[in-house]
């Protein structure tokens, strides 16, 4: 069986990745012969690729890995087209199977950060014997160290589990969240391609900025601009409720001299248990998107301060409500009760979030808490980004306090935001990568197996969320690029939009 759809994509190999690893195995009852060749179109930028297997032989009957070394010359910057051609023939069978794996290697000129090794083939052969002797000596030491480290690790894990009062492990989902280092062969091989790698190559450095916090006087002035009387708001059923936060479905009534107009709304407010600090936080976060005007952003439209202990924040109504809850309903509801979401639907929703973020960044607004819980959706799958007012209370499992009395979305935050509290357009891109992962898992909890206190160390060590089940390689590629440790290596939302639109159009070609 040949997956022609998968073979149709040209996978990008970034400059810092020096080689490719392929796992193969013959499951046939007969011996399977192969011949393999690697072709490149720009030898001035890339030397002849080197294989660690013969150019012809038998496909192994047990799972093994072969390697293709891609040595850049460093003489010029190019995108080099690579074609790995494999001819497979089963013994005593008349038919041949031809496979062509498409790759595009990025080579940069005189790049001091280039991880691609420039090796002469003859030098490789001459050093083989000494290499194996060294490996043999090192292997014994590694085995001893590994056993010791594993024993220590198991003991520490048992101790941590015994002392832990949390239930994060009990909430582990069947989705699977093996954490892969971004530089391992298995993870690196998922890097995919779109119309051009340049779409994902950052064109400018994202400078960390301060969060858009308003001074008390500015906040009071903005609230006064949209403050309305209590009689203009009618509250209906309660949609969500936390410890102190509440969201109602409501109606906003606009009176004039002769008629009245009614608009369906969301209304955010607090219960009697809310403290003054919680009320102040509700108002500050609720006004974050005040004055915005975009089809994929949900701004606040009115505030009622008649009862300062129970302020009412009014938003336009979206009939399917919170996006995270909607996704979970789609996954767990009885068939027919909710939407059946196709990959193209999810990509379309991601595109809308990207468009909303492009608008916010043009308005110099850093969101700082982008996630599906802070988006809303309607039955036409129109998605709008919202503020994060009440999110800490309504989604307590998504926020954690790391001993500094500040509750924050630890598992959505970029590395620099988590460790240094730096926020920028690039940190929003990281959060979007986690949001995209949420979309593709229909609302699963990210990093469910990792203790919040260990997130910083895990991310610093290079571990990331693994590819969700049924998630196309192209989408996981965008996630992986969004989680680059260095903020300047992440793509911008404008670059992501091009990639998403290309992939969305490609999905439309298949039934």
Residue ranges covered by each domain of the chain: 4-116, 180-507
CA distance 196 to 25: 32
Task: Kindly report which listed range (45-59, 82-96, 199-213, 448-462) carries the lowest average pLDDT score.
Answer: 199-213
CA distance 184 to 511: 34
Q: What is the pLDDT of residue 214?
A: 63
Q: What is the pLDDT of residue 415?
A: 95
Q: What is the DSSP letter of 82?
A: E
Query: Is-above-0.95 flag for pTM?
Result: no
Helices marked H in 363-407 — which ranges? Answer: 391-394
- Name the active-site residue from 369, 387, 393, 398: 369
Contacts 24+ apart (CB under 8 A), 416-421: 416/208, 416/487, 417/368, 418/455, 418/456, 418/459, 419/456, 419/460
- Whole-number percent of the chain with pLDDT over 90: 56
In the predicted structure, residue 204 carries a pLDDT above the cut 60:
no
pLDDT digits (tens, 9 = 90+) for 9-20: 678 888 888 899
Q: What is the pLDDT of residue 408?
A: 93
Is pLDDT larger for residue 175 or for residue 220?
220
pLDDT digits (tens, 9 = 90+) for 431-467: 999 999 999 999 999 999 999 999 999 999 999 999 9
In the predicted structure, residue 261 carries a pLDDT above the cut 50:
yes
pLDDT band at residue 217, thresholds of 50, 70 and 90? confident
Q: What is the pLDDT of residue 348?
A: 96
pLDDT band at residue 7, thresholds of 50, 70 and 90? confident
Query: According to the per-residue pLDDT averaged within each range, which of 22-26, 222-226, 411-415 is highest?
Result: 411-415
Q: What is the pLDDT of residue 36?
A: 93
- For 370, residues 6+ apart whose C-beta sits below 8 A from its C-beta are 353, 357, 385, 412, 428, 431, 432, 435
Comparing CA positions, the residue from 466, 470, 472, 482 lying closest to residue 177 is 466
Q: What is the pLDDT of residue 227?
A: 94
| Span 478-487, average pLDDT | 95
Q: What is the pLDDT of residue 202?
A: 53
- Helix and strand counts by DSSP (H, E) for the chain: 14, 19
Q: What is the pLDDT of residue 89?
A: 85
Is pLDDT larger for residue 393 or for residue 178?
393
In the predicted structure, residue 489 carries a pLDDT above the cut 90:
yes
In the predicted structure, residue 412 carries a pLDDT above the cut 80:
yes
Comparing CA positions, the residue from 286, 296, 272 lying closest to residue 376 is 296
Q: What is the pLDDT of residue 404?
A: 80
Q: How many alpha carbons lie under 13 Å from residue 131 in its C-beta half-sphere?
A: 6
Quote the mean pLDDT of the chain.
81
Helices marked H in 341-492 — which ranges? Answer: 343-362, 391-394, 415-420, 425-440, 455-460, 473-482
378 is catalytic: no
Q: What is the pLDDT of residue 76?
A: 82
Q: What is the pLDDT of residue 333?
A: 62
CATH of 4-116, one of 2.60.40.2170, 3.40.50.920, 3.40.640.10, 3.90.1640.30: 2.60.40.2170
Query: What homologous superfamily does CATH list for 180-507?
Result: Transferase(Phosphotransferase) domain 1 (1.10.510.10)
Q: What is the pLDDT of residue 135?
A: 44
């Amino acid at each position: 069986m040949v997956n022609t759809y998968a073979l149709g994509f040209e996978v990008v190999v970034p400059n810092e990745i020096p080689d490719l690893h392929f796992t193969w195995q013959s499951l046939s009852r007969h011996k399977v012969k192969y011949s393999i060749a690697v072709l490149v179109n720009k030898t001035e930028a890339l030397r002849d690729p080197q294989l660690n297997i013969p150019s012809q032989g038998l496909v192994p009957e047990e799972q093994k890995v072969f390697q293709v070394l891609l040595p850049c010359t460093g003489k010029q910057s190019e995108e080099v087209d690579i074609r790995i051609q494999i001819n497979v023939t089963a013994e005593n069978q008349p038919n041949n199977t031809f496979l062509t794996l498409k790759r595009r290697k990025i080579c940069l000129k005189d790049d001091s950060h280039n991880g691609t090794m420039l090796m002469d083939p003859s030098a490789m052969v001459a050093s083989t014997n000494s290499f194996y002797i060294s490996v043999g000596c090192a292997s014994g030491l590694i085995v001893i160290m590994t056993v010791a480290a594993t024993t220590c690790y198991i003991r520490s894990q048992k101790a941590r589990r015994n002392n832990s009062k949390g239930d994060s492990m009990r909430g582990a989902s069947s989705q699977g969240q093996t954490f892969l280092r971004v530089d391992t062969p298995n993870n690196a091989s998922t890097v995919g391609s779109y119309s051009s790698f340049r779409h994902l190559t950052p064109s400018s450095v994202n400078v960390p900025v301060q969060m858009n916090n308003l001074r008390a006087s500015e906040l009071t002035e903005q609230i006064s601009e949209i403050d309305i009387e209590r009689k203009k708001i009618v509250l209906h059923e309660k949609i969500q409720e936390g410890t102190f936060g509440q969201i109602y479905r409501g109606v906003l009534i606009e009176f004039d001299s002769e008629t009245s107009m009614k608009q369906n709304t969301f209304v955010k407010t607090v219960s009697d248990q809310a403290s003054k600090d919680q009320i102040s936080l509700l108002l500050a976060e609720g006004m974050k998107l005040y004055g915005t005007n975009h089809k994929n952003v949900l701004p606040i439209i009115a505030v009622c301060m008649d009862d300062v202990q129970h302020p009412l924040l009014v938003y336009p109504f979206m009939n399917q409500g919170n996006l995270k809850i909607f996704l979970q309903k789609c996954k767990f509801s009885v068939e027919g009760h909710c939407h059946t979401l196709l990959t193209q639907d999810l990509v379309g929703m991601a595109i809308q979030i990207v468009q909303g973020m492009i608008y916010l960044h043009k308005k110099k607004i850093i969101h700082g808490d982008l996630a599906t819980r802070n988006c809303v959706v309607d039955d036409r799958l129109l998605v709008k980004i919202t503020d994060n007012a009440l999110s800490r209370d309504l989604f307590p499992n998504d926020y954690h306090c790391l001993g500094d009395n500040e509750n924050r979305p630890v598992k959505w935050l970029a590395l620099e935001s988590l460790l240094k509290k730096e926020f920028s357009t690039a940190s929003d891109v990281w959060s979007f990568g986690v949001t995209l992962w949420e979309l593709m898992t229909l609302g699963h909890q990210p990093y469910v197996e990792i203790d919040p206190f260990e997130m910083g160390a895990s991310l610093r060590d290079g571990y990331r969320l693994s590819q969700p089940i049924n998630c196309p390689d192209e989408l996981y590629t965008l996630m992986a690029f969004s989680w680059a440790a260095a903020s300047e290596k992440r793509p911008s939302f404008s670059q992501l939009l091009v990639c998403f639109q290309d992939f969305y159009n490609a999905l439309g070609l298949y039934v």
